Amino acid sequence: MHDVCVALLWHQHQPYYPDDVGDENPMPWVRLHGTKDYWGMAKLLEEVPEMHAAINLVPSLLSQVMAYTDSGHQDTHLRISRLPADGLTEEDMHYLLDNFFMVHPDHMIRPYRRYNDLYRKCGMSIDLPDRARKRFGKKDIVDLQVWSNLVWIHPLAFEADTDLAEFRDKGRNWTEQEKQWFLDKQMELLGQVIPLHRKLQERGQLELTTTPFYHPILPLLWDKRQARQAMPDVVLPEFLDSYHQDAAEQIRLAVDFHEKLFGQKPRGMWPSEGSVCQEIIPSIAEAGIQWIATDEEILSCSTDGWVSRDGNGFLRNPEMLYRPWRVEEQGKQLQIVFRDHAMSDQIGFHYQRYATDHAVDDFFGKAEAIGNATGAGAGHRPTLLSIILDGENCWEYYPNNGVDFLRTLYRRLADHPKIEPVRICDYLQRHPATDKLGHLFPGSWIQHNFGIWIGHPECNRAWDALDRTRRHLAKATTEKTKSSEQLERAWEELYIAEGSDWFWWFGDDHSSAQDGLFDRLFRKHLQNVFLVLGDQPPVELARPISLGHRGGRPHSQPTELLNVKVDGRQTYFEWINAGHHVCQGARGTMSMAGEGLLADLYFGFDAERLLLRLDSKGGPVRERLAELDMLRVFFFQPEGFELLVQHPASKEPSVRLYHNDVTVAEPGIEAAADMLLELSVPFRSLAISTAAPIHFCVELIKDEQSIERVPAEGAIETAVPSPDYELIMWQA
């Protein structure tokens, strides 16, 4: 018997983007992730037949994949990709320049010379599309149409298809005919996604699990008051009616859809966002689900902290985390497993910055330590290490899309003498749960609460808009004044609007360049409820729910030269004209389980220096960053430079600038810490002059590991100011 069983579960999910009533699909992420992550993750498993795992496929994702492959549907990005270069309208061109670089530039643009040239020509974060389009000729447009899709093809596809590899290697000057051939090839790959998962299930290598159909937060549908248990002071929406019928229907629809598509009912379910509560157990069990999963913090709260981590991250009673549990309600029962959020976050957020062998060695070192801590091998069952995370969002931050890391990890897992990769269903069949939880704490996999989805004024306005729409639909259903077809379509639109993703982007927890579009789509689905019933949508659904406090850029730009004394003191007016980035500790649709240490990053320049300021959360830098070994400023542009700040919480930290690992000995490189951390680097030290790009990120290092990155994705992008910079900014 193996000492440790590693249960990997990759959660594959996209919200339901199409507006089927208006015949519009404004977002390409199902298609693009489909030919990269959904296809590629399955192919990597196929390479190692001894590797067993689970993949959670959300029905709202699968139904969109089938709309592309079976019904010929397309999205705005695909429509504009297929247009001839001389057939784009001014609006199409604006969309192209504003959306066709929406990738992680360090791993998906800069490694490809032609794509990077087009990126620089567009002047992202510096110039606007209206001005940039004048610089793009027909060949530029075709190449951009190709590259914006080509970087979303998984590396394994190029290994398997020499024609596709030759097409990529051409690199530029593709013809319209070649472009159309490639986009057809893209659709062929997307068509393989569902059959490939079915094949891996049938050969017993892969367990396929599901999620309620449109990814709703089940406990909040059941009772919004559930939020108060983890957040006693939360301000709830005005309307608090229970939608428990909707919760049960979203579960039933998911299980029926999954069974029809894959030939058998799913045994496991990942409730949306790992959100659970005691009351939903019967509805899940009645649908035929045998086990569910959520985060370890839910177990901690459900046991009053008996299973929990101390201030250093060490587990109390670790043997109780690494086993299944049993939950019961109204005579119905489920087995439940709890993810190790530290190990999950290592893959999701940290190993991307390790060398492959170092990352995999670290994984096995931690897995073996968990086995030792739980007395693995000495008891009647092996330790169950559950690692659960998004299966699509982290790989664009890994070199080679994570192929090297996952290949090495899978092969070593398959060969390890004491660690076995397992499907959760197989483990539970061999070692069913014997421990019972008295009461399942209501919460999610993010900070064991529902704060992302309820409590903020924007979230609450969204819930109330949903409630008003649902009341209208419920009345129409009761009165039977509409046809059954109208009612069925209207309920479907309402279920779509109950999805968690719309609420994710409301409030100030998360933000992206597409916040406004998510807002519009949410309201459009509510409007569609009225439209399919033949009724007039209320005027308030035409007004954005968002307060509009966020822009489309990830950070603002400096507006004037700064006058900063590097002393670590909180002098407000020194930084009033700086660029600003809010450190959210989250990336896209992923969140780390723990809170970050940094609150804000400010940046700017005087006539001779780049200036940086970092503010910590919950107290002064001298206290909050005291346990850090190092702070690292890594420059993507100018290339090869990094600034290392030893013990950044000390009053006068040691700071050195390196270029290609060689110390740059220049005066004027300064650091000081007190209430905040301030840094300065002369432009001459970075070997840059007027208008040169400056792209950088900041990392916090503890015990030789990166524990936080700012920004969480991409880079802060600005440029060396010109002598007339302030005049230009004033005129702007």
Give 198: exposed, middle or buried? Use CB within 10 Å, 0-12, 13-18, 19+.
middle
Q: Is the pLDDT of residue 551 over 80?
A: no
Q: Which of 315, 290, 291, 314 lies closest to 303, judged by CA? A: 315
**Mean pLDDT rounded to a whole number for the chain:** 92
Between residues 128 and 477, the one the model is more confident about: 477
Q: Is the pLDDT of residue 605 over 50?
A: yes
Sign of CA dihedral 55, 59, 64, 65: positive
What is the structure's pLDDT at 150? 98
What is the structure's pLDDT at 326? 98
Do the beta carbons of residue 215 and residue 254 sit within 8 Å? Answer: no
Number of CB atoms found within 10 A of residue 170's CB: 12
Do the beta carbons of residue 38 and residue 392 sit within 8 Å? Answer: yes
Q: Is the pLDDT of residue 692 over 90?
A: no
Average the pLDDT over 470-494 and give the result. Answer: 97
Do the beta carbons of residue 260 and residue 240 sit within 8 Å? Answer: no
What is the structure's pLDDT at 107? 87
Do the beta carbons of residue 586 and residue 446 sit within 8 Å? Answer: no
3-state secondary structure of 664: strand
What b-and-e string marks burial along 7-46, b requiring 16 or more CB atoms within 10 Å of the CB? bbbbbbbbbbbbbbbeeebbbbbbbbbbbbbbbbbbbbbb
What is the structure's pLDDT at 549? 46
Question: Residue 540 has which token pair?
Answer: 């308030």
Choice among 5-19, 53-67, 121-135, 164-178 with the minimum mean pLDDT:
121-135
Q: Collect all residues with Cβ–Cβ distance below 8 Å to 485 and sequence separation of at least 6.
A: none
Question: Residue 685 has which token pair?
Answer: 């030290």
% of the chain with per-residue pLDDT over 90: 78
Q: Is the pLDDT of residue 437 over 70?
A: yes
Q: What is 457-542's CATH topology?
A: immunoglobulin/albumin-binding domain-like (1.20.1430)
- How many whole angstroms separate alpha carbon 558 and alpha carbon 500? 35
Q: Is the pLDDT of residue 447 over 60?
A: yes
For 98-134, what is each residue's pLDDT tens digit?
Answer: 999 988 888 899 999 999 999 988 875 555 666 777 8
Question: Residue 189 has which token pair?
Answer: 């790959």
Average the pLDDT over 309-336 and give the result. Answer: 94
What is the structure's pLDDT at 589? 45
Amino acid at 523: R
For 209-246, what is each residue's pLDDT tens digit?
Answer: 999 999 999 999 999 999 999 999 999 999 999 999 99
Sign of CA dihedral 200, 201, 202, 203: positive
**Of 509-518, 628-637, 721-730, highest mean pLDDT:** 628-637
- How many whole angstroms separate alpha carbon 648 and alpha carbon 673? 7
Average the pLDDT over 626-633 and give the result. Answer: 92
Average the pLDDT over 541-547 and give the result. Answer: 86
Question: Residue 51 has which token pair?
Answer: 């590797």
Average the pLDDT over 716-732 and give the result. Answer: 64
Do the beta carbons of residue 51 and residue 414 sit within 8 Å? Answer: yes
**Residue 724 — very low, low, confident or very high, per pLDDT cuts 50/70/90?**
low
**Residue 594 — very low, low, confident or very high, per pLDDT cuts 50/70/90?**
low
What is the structure's pLDDT at 616? 93
3-state secondary structure of 615: strand
For 501-542, what is each residue's pLDDT tens digit?
Answer: 999 999 877 777 788 899 999 999 999 999 999 999 998 898
For residue 633, the cross-strand partners are 643, 698
Q: Establish whether domains 457-542 and 572-731 are of one fold.
A: no
The whole-model pTM stands at: 0.81
Q: Is the pLDDT of residue 15 over 90?
A: yes
Q: Which of 58, 496, 449, 14 lies closest to 224, judged by CA? A: 449
Q: Is the pLDDT of residue 584 over 90?
A: no
In a 13 Å sphere around the CA of 482, the CA atoms on its Cβ side amount to 22
Question: Residue 339 has which token pair?
Answer: 């993810």
- How many whole angstroms separate alpha carbon 518 and alpha carbon 503? 9
3-state secondary structure 237-288: CCCCCCCHHHHHHHHHHHHHHHHHHHCCCCCEECCHHHCECHHHHHHHHHCC
What is the structure's pLDDT at 239? 96
Between residues 641 and 572, the one the model is more confident about: 641
The Cα-based distances of 142 to 27, 86, 101, 146, 373 in angstroms read 20, 10, 14, 6, 57
What is the structure's pLDDT at 593? 47
What b-and-e string marks burial along 408-426, b requiring 16 or more CB atoms within 10 Å of the CB? bbbebbeebeebbbbbbbb
What is the structure's pLDDT at 44? 98
What is the structure's pLDDT at 514? 82
**Residue 585 — very low, low, confident or very high, per pLDDT cuts 50/70/90?**
low
As a CATH number, domain 572-731 is 2.60.40.10
The Cα-based distances of 212 to 261, 393, 508 in angstroms read 15, 20, 26
- In this structure, the strands spanning 419-421 and 4-12 are parallel
Instruction: Spell out the domain ranges in the chain.
Output: 8-18+26-36+60-193, 457-542, 572-731
**Residue 721 — very low, low, confident or very high, per pLDDT cuts 50/70/90?**
confident
Question: Residue 433 has which token pair?
Answer: 């749960």
- How many whole angstroms separate alpha carbon 614 and alpha carbon 98? 30
Q: Is the pLDDT of residue 332 over 80?
A: yes
